[in-house]
Structure 1
Amino acid sequence: MPDMPRCTLRTLGALMLVAVSSGAQPAPPPTVTFSSHVFLSPKGDTIHAELGALIVPERRANPSSRRITLRFVRFRSTAAAPGAPIVYLAGGPGASGIRAAAGPRFPLFMALRELGDVIALDQRGVGQSATMAPCTARTPADLSQPLTRAALVSFTRAALTDCITQWTAAGVDVDGYTTRESADDIDDLRRALGVSQVALWGISYGSHLGLAVLKYHGASVSRAVFAGIEGLEQTVKRPALTDSLFVRVQRLIDADTTARAAYGDIAATMRRIHARLDSAPQRVTATPPAASAPITVPIGAFPLQMLIGSMIADPVGIARVPALYAALDAGRFEMVAGPLIGALSGMSTFFGMPELMDVASGIDGARLVRVAREAERGLLGDALNFPMPHLAGIRPSIDLGTGFRAPLRSSVPTLFISGTLDGRTSPTEAAEVRAGFSRGRALTVENGGHNIFEADPRVAEAVVTFLRGGTPVDRIEMAPPRFFVPR
């Protein structure tokens, strides 16, 4: 529970006494409406489904809050006696559950219908549940100046502050875009469906949301499966764990004769390039998306570290990192010009939900100190999760507080799936979360990455087995990545 001023606690206590003395009843369940929906599979096949709409408050603590509509697709169960509905929680934050169902996870959505109805939810502020227009800061980034960490942090904080002002003026209650509100949305969905429990299936930020549901509505969850685990205190990842990933990558390089000869010590090469860029920013030229002419931008190490952070979620991206640094070491910065300028040219635009959710989940002081200390020598510094912790404290009223981030204890049967080559969410931190689960179970995927559900059919089988109530395997071994070596 977030820390509250004493006057707020007194007011809350008085309201509780009034509620008890007046015999107040629980709020009636929210209503949900359905319409027939034709869903297209990745291969273009049509699946008969239902499009649901659930109306919830934008911020439950605000009595005058506007109502927002959450939309989802429901795939009806093929079972004769369906179990609890299975709710898919997409990652990001900001990814669409409905779009995910139309992608490579589609077969797993269909397979889970054997157990119960399967629901692909667009969380508040996302996709078909969008509630605010994208915002472009009124003062654009100055791309003519060296793009260092300090410059990017300063601009991003000012730009998001401007966008918060614009959204508020448009009638958006920005303090309603928190993981706690989304967790309450899941329970409101359960109540609207008229069921006592739901099962949860989430990945990355979706695991973070799922853990919040377990924290605040644990009795309403029958079972849960999470992959790419992000604990309630793990919005900001530890740089030392990224370094540990590259130790593992180095072992794979050393085991590959061709890669070892081509790349040698990858960490040493990375540090050399980063030091070079920090001392003398490199000018790169490319044409931004939708632009008619190229621009030239001077970049320091931080934008490159951000780019690498976006590449290392899965083995396929990790396998290209050594070749990229070898090219940069040879002075071929055109290799990163397009991706970097494409990303940097869009940094003035914000979508609301992704940024606000991370700011709200926040970071406690002790972890912030630890992250800063590890970032001093970390290969990617603190770039992996940009713009957090860089936006921490920008909106104090939205922070969910230390109570939200405190360790979770749960007896809900939960499967934790981790890939040993997941560069976004570390198996080490997944194990820390799992320690609080009396009925938690681990599945380790050797050489697996972040987007693990579709990476190997055995992972999907384990998900179905566990949600059925069975005991899945605890280890799956995939082939190591093949490093790209130019001829």
Structure 2
Amino acid sequence: MSNPSLFVPGHRGRSRHRVARLAALCIALACAAPALAREAPAPLAFKPYAMETKGNGTIATEEAFLEVPRKHSEPDGPRIRLRVVRLPATGGDGRTAPVVYLAGGPGGSGFGTALGPRWPVFDRVRRETDVLLLDQRGTDFSQMPPECSQSHRFDDAQPLQREAALAALRTTAAACIAEWRKSGVDLAAYTTAESADDIEDLRRAMGLKRLSLWGMSYGTHLALATVRRHGSSLDRVVLMGSEGPDDTIKLPLAADALLADLAVVARKDGFDDLQGSARRVLEALRRQPREGRSSMHDGRKVVIGEYDAQIAIANALGRRSTQRMLPLMLREAEAGDYSLLAGFVLMMRESLGGFRAMPLAMDVASGQSPQRRALVEAQARESLFGDALNFPFPQLADGLGLVDLGDAFRAPLRSEVPVLFVSGSLDGRTPRANAQALLPGFSKGQELLVRGASHDNELWLGHPRIAENIADFLAGRAVKDEALEVPLPVFVTDKSQL
């Protein structure tokens, strides 16, 4: 909806409206593409590299390092070195565009993802074309900023209070930012827009007409930014667990909906009232915080409050590895045993207390539109978990002085680039609704729904046809399935199963 203040009667008002529209267009174009006059990057020189996987032997690959401007708007300024590992094609007809894998996080390693249990999917895709494992700027082997020496340790003897915790984390984040800046780190270099331009530089350095992209979670957010900025350089895009341009902060009621879905599944393992159990545990902790002793932390004790539990439960909903423990954790807490919940709370507190430069700067820069923030705040008032799903964002970012990419970066996206959206029906981090909202903007978009999959390995490995469909799509063949079923989670019913 247009701003009514721009519609002023008379010629002067119309001119002002025209100028405002022109200014908005200029901002949008600046966000949509970098400067056109850019020096071609030096050609990549790949060297043999033995990639030692975790359980799948040693793979003969190739390694190269790409130098890119720290800021693409300053091509003659300082540079950043990015690592690329190429999995050479073991098949295909040579006509399929090489595919760049983009890891999640932000802060995950593309190279690291291929080392673990997800290797078979990479192995299947390279039967069609080269796969390029890119370590994004600020991650893994690609020149990481130094670790921050500052972190916040929450008091185990006190329940977490939202406002006090937010103030403490904002102080810690500000101290880290000051420390990074003192050591010469330019945090404005760590944005999704800069990383999208890195991908274009990679294409040019390899002398390729087009690349395909394959992203997971935050990697899909980066892929979509690349579609917006460099769509003409892309052949095809696979998005697993989609995070749209304006999806950085999550919708709180998505957690409530997933809890309801898991409640249906949990009945087969004897958990008859998962939603009611969560509600009763939170209500009890609201009245009186309780102490739990975590066996995962050598018997360490922690006092658990309602907000502790809201954060722990909301985040446990995301992945199968934690979903499986959630019903037992709630059942035992209702019975007065808070040991499992204590383990979740301590892990959550530890992860909240520290910051890394790249993920912090990236998330703040992607930000959220005013409409998204208003919707999240409205849903938080209705959600069983309040605003715990996103804590400490978006409030943490306010006043930190970091770059925000603006609403043009977050605007709805329209493209003719073929895109395959792979969605899990039990994904609590990037719910299927994200992909469904994006699909209308892609004239050549289609979805593969994986029923029963969360934001975890079963989205990759739960059915052999997941990899087949991804490989077929990237090779330009028809995707044969619209939906696949993977085994539903089997919930832990006794601590002896842990």
Structure 2 length normalisation: TM-score? 0.86
Equivalences for residues 463-482 of structure 1 within 5 A = 463-472=470-479, 473-482=481-490
SS of residue in 1 equivalent to 2:291: strand
Q: Does 1:434 align with 2:439?
A: yes
Instruction: Verify the 8 A CA contact 2:41 2:68 in the aligned structure 1.
Output: no
The verdict on how the C-alpha distance between 1:419 and 1:320 changes in structure 2, with shifts beyond 3 A counting, is: same
Partner in structure 2 of residue 183 of structure 1: 196
Instruction: Verify the 8 A CA contact 1:136 1:348 in the aligned structure 2.
Output: no
The verdict on how the C-alpha distance between 1:319 and 1:145 changes in structure 2, with shifts beyond 3 A counting, is: closer
Structure 2: distance between partners of 1:75 and 1:338: 39
The verdict on how the C-alpha distance between 1:59 and 1:283 changes in structure 2, with shifts beyond 3 A counting, is: farther
For residue 82 of structure 1, report the CA deviation from its aligned partner. 4.6
* Paired residues, number: 463
The verdict on how the C-alpha distance between 1:39 and 1:232 changes in structure 2, with shifts beyond 3 A counting, is: same
Equivalences for residues 52-451 of structure 1 within 5 A = 52-62=64-74, 65-78=77-90, 79-137=92-150, 141-254=154-267, 256=268, 258-259=269-270, 263-286=271-294, 296-345=301-350, 347-451=352-456
For residue 374 of structure 1, report the CA deviation from its aligned partner. 1.0
For residue 122 of structure 1, report the CA deviation from its aligned partner. 0.9
Partner in structure 2 of residue 484 of structure 1: 492
Structure 1: distance between partners of 2:240 and 2:340: 32
Structure 1: distance between partners of 2:207 and 2:63: 17
Instruction: Verify the 8 A CA contact 2:212 2:234 in the aligned structure 1.
Output: yes
For residue 131 of structure 1, report the CA deviation from its aligned partner. 2.2
Q: Does 1:38 align with 2:50?
A: yes
Could you list the runs of 5+ residues in structure 1 that have no partner in the other structure?
1-5, 17-23
Structure 1: distance between partners of 2:238 and 2:214: 5
For residue 343 of structure 1, report the CA deviation from its aligned partner. 3.9
The verdict on how the C-alpha distance between 1:25 and 1:148 changes in structure 2, with shifts beyond 3 A counting, is: closer
Structure 2: distance between partners of 1:320 and 1:328: 12
Matched letter for residue 213 of structure 1? T
Matched letter for residue 382 of structure 1? D
Structure 1: distance between partners of 2:353 and 2:316: 22
For residue 354 of structure 1, report the CA deviation from its aligned partner. 1.4
For residue 428 of structure 1, report the CA deviation from its aligned partner. 1.3
Q: Deviations over 1:263-310 (max 9, x none)?
A: 332222212211222333223345997xxx975433322222322233
Structure 1: distance between partners of 2:241 and 2:307: 25
For residue 458 of structure 1, report the CA deviation from its aligned partner. 1.3
The verdict on how the C-alpha distance between 1:63 and 1:77 changes in structure 2, with shifts beyond 3 A counting, is: closer
SS of residue in 1 equivalent to 2:460: coil
Instruction: Verify the 8 A CA contact 1:57 1:65 in the aligned structure 2.
Output: yes
Structure 2: distance between partners of 1:77 and 1:223: 17
Q: Deviations over 1:13-62 (max 9, x none)?
A: 9xx9xxxxxxx954223443322200123325221111110111222234
Structure 1: distance between partners of 2:476 and 2:274: 44
Identity %: 37
For residue 137 of structure 1, report the CA deviation from its aligned partner. 1.9
Could you list the runs of 5+ residues in structure 2 that have no partner in the other structure?
1-19, 31-35
Q: CA RMSD in A?
A: 2.6
Structure 2: distance between partners of 1:138 and 1:310: 21
Instruction: Verify the 8 A CA contact 2:125 2:467 in the aligned structure 1.
Output: no
Instruction: Verify the 8 A CA contact 1:324 1:335 in the aligned structure 2.
Output: yes
Structure 2: distance between partners of 1:204 and 1:107: 19
Instruction: Verify the 8 A CA contact 1:309 1:380 in the aligned structure 2.
Output: yes
Q: Which moved further from structure 2: 275-284 or 351-360?
A: 275-284
The verdict on how the C-alpha distance between 1:310 and 1:92 changes in structure 2, with shifts beyond 3 A counting, is: same
Instruction: Verify the 8 A CA contact 2:255 2:314 in the aligned structure 1.
Output: no
For residue 234 of structure 1, report the CA deviation from its aligned partner. 0.3
For residue 113 of structure 1, report the CA deviation from its aligned partner. 1.7
Matched letter for residue 468 of structure 1? A
Structure 1: distance between partners of 2:158 and 2:76: 45
Partner in structure 2 of residue 19 of structure 1: none
Q: Which moved further from structure 2: 275-284 or 458-467?
A: 275-284
Structure 2: distance between partners of 1:334 and 1:486: 13
Matched letter for residue 494 of structure 2? P
SS of residue in 2 equivalent to 1:135: coil
The verdict on how the C-alpha distance between 1:150 and 1:462 changes in structure 2, with shifts beyond 3 A counting, is: same
Structure 2: distance between partners of 1:224 and 1:273: 43
Structure 1: distance between partners of 2:351 and 2:302: 14
SS of residue in 2 equivalent to 1:114: coil
Q: Deviations over 1:207-259 (max 9, x none)?
A: 111000001110111001111101010011111122111222222234x2x52
SS of residue in 2 equivalent to 1:357: helix
For residue 390 of structure 1, report the CA deviation from its aligned partner. 3.1
Instruction: Verify the 8 A CA contact 1:82 1:115 in the aligned structure 2.
Output: no
Q: Deviations over 1:129-166 (max 9, x none)?
A: 14211113276545544312222222111111110110
